[in-house]
Amino acid sequence: MINKIKLEQLSAILDVLKLAEKLKFELRHSWLSNGRQESVAEHTWRMSLMAVLIEPLLEQKVDLARLLKMIIIHDLVEAEAGDVSVLDQIRNPEIKKIKQQNEEKAILRIRDLLTASNGQEIYDLFYEFEEKNTFEAKVANAIDKLEVQYQHNHADISTWEEIEYDLSFVIGKHVQFDQTFVMLKDLIEKQASQKLEGAGLNVSEIRSRATATFS
């Protein structure tokens, strides 16, 4: 009986892994330094690496295992719901509502697939990330925002949309809870400034516009 239950659990895990394989070819808006678009799986991998590297520097103790679980799970829904660019959500708030609805359906399906093992834990971790109330969720959200901008810094400036010039300077609100992240944000923001200046753009003007628009 025990072996039968475990076999069912393992079969369900394989179903979720099959679903997750889609993240290897689900493309994000971000571009890589070699001119190729980034996959969701690549974004999640580097977020995980950032968590491991930054964890010893944080001012407050973080549950690293929980943090990594949250990071790995947070974009799993995109295997079904697809990746929706934040730029599209800014331009059309209705898209954000549809995104949330599709992601809710996806995480419910994943929870149900894994109902005999850790489906509820995965469901809870997904919403913990979304609600950003715990320290681990705040850390995961900060890493998410910083990794995105850092990836933009790697990409050719020709791949940036004009709104992304502004978004380079609005990450501050996501990092204020920990000085380590404030310092990291400043480093990444400085790189973005240098990239924009190198393209002949007025960074002071962009920063002022960003502050006025997204504050």
Task: Pull the structure tokens for residue 86.
Answer: 């934040």
For residue 121, CA distances in Å to 5, 55, 69, 102, 114 come to: 19, 22, 10, 20, 10
Name the CA dihedral angle for 144, 17, 111, 76, rounded to a multiple of 10 degrees.
20
Q: What percent of the chain has pLDDT over 70?
A: 99
Mean pLDDT throughout 42-56?
Answer: 98
Report the SS3 class of residue 82: coil
| pLDDT tens-digit series, residues 147-182 | 999 999 999 999 999 999 999 999 999 999 999 999
Residues 111, 119 contacting (CB under 8 angstroms)? yes
- Average of per-residue pLDDT across 20-47: 97
CB 174 within 8 A of CB 141: yes
Average pLDDT, the chain: 95
pLDDT score, position 214: 86
How far is 62 from 50, CA to CA, in rounded Å?
A: 14
Which tens digit of pLDDT belongs to each residue from 71-128? 999 999 999 999 998 888 888 889 999 999 999 999 999 999 999 999 999 999 999 9
